[in-house]
Amino acid sequence: MKLVWCPDMSSKAYIDGVKVLADRDDLAGSAELAELVCAMAGGWNAQLVVEAPDVSAASSSRPRAAATSLALAAAARRTGGRYACVLPDADSAAAYAVAGAAPSSSPTVVVGEAGEAMARLEGVDLLVVDARRRDAAAVLRAARPGPRGMVVVRHRDGRRCGPTALAAASMAAGTRVVRSVYLPIGKGVEVLHVGVGKGPSLQSRSGGRVASRWIRHVNHDTGEEHVFRRQ
């Protein structure tokens, strides 16, 4: 089994996301990014969408709802799936609720250390991680994809994020990064298509060290990526 793209569902989820974000000037984050992940959740017909947002700035007296959270929840409703938000502690969860990031159809909010929290979410189809989280690498490492594989979106909304191999290098053993691409959307987005089981990968692990068998070149003007296999 593998993730199969559905353009019709992607379009419907995208429209749902645009509607839920319309006339909302109080949202934190990039609308471009929110609309992108919303369309991706629909296109992959994601049944379990997990977001690990950065809530370090949510301690202000008037925290703002995250655009990505509302858009992803709308996409999950369209696919008939589930949206879950992973937060580091109870204070973060409280700020998240006060900000109104939780839509009327309450999502699953999982609170706790990254490894423990992600262990409760088995069969992830789409994982959206804010790279500003201190435990972002731990979230990636603990993610448990479903039998169809998983799509990972790593972003740094609010500060420019260049293409790196960090996300790919952080994935758990037993997974394989089938494709990795950097998109110049918003402040920069890294997208990984992660497979499960044996097979070719953009990474290989030996002795606890990551030894890439591939050379990646990214055109910073267009965002186009070329991958060359080492001989």
Residue 214 falls inside a structural domain: yes
Closest CA to 145 of 126, 166, 165: 126
Residue 2 falls inside a structural domain: no
Of 13-22, 67-76, 98-107, least confident by mean pLDDT is 98-107
* Contact predicate 67/34, CB 8 Å: yes
For residue 121, give its domain range.
Answer: 7-229
- Indicate whether 201 pLDDT > 50: no
**Rounded distance, CA 218 to CA 54, Å?**
27
Domain of 51: which CATH number? 3.40.50.150
Residue 1 falls inside a structural domain: no
Q: Domain total for the chain?
A: 1
Residue 136 falls inside a structural domain: yes
- Indicate whether 171 pLDDT > 50: yes
Structure tokens at 81: 């799936």
For residue range 115-168, list pLDDT tens digits in order: 889 989 999 999 999 988 889 889 998 999 988 899 999 997 654 444 444 555
pTM: 0.78
Which 3 state secondary structure label does DSSP give 52?
Answer: strand
Q: Which strand (E) or helix (H) includes residue 129?
A: strand 126-130
Residue 100 falls inside a structural domain: yes
pLDDT interval class at 216 (50, 70, 90): low
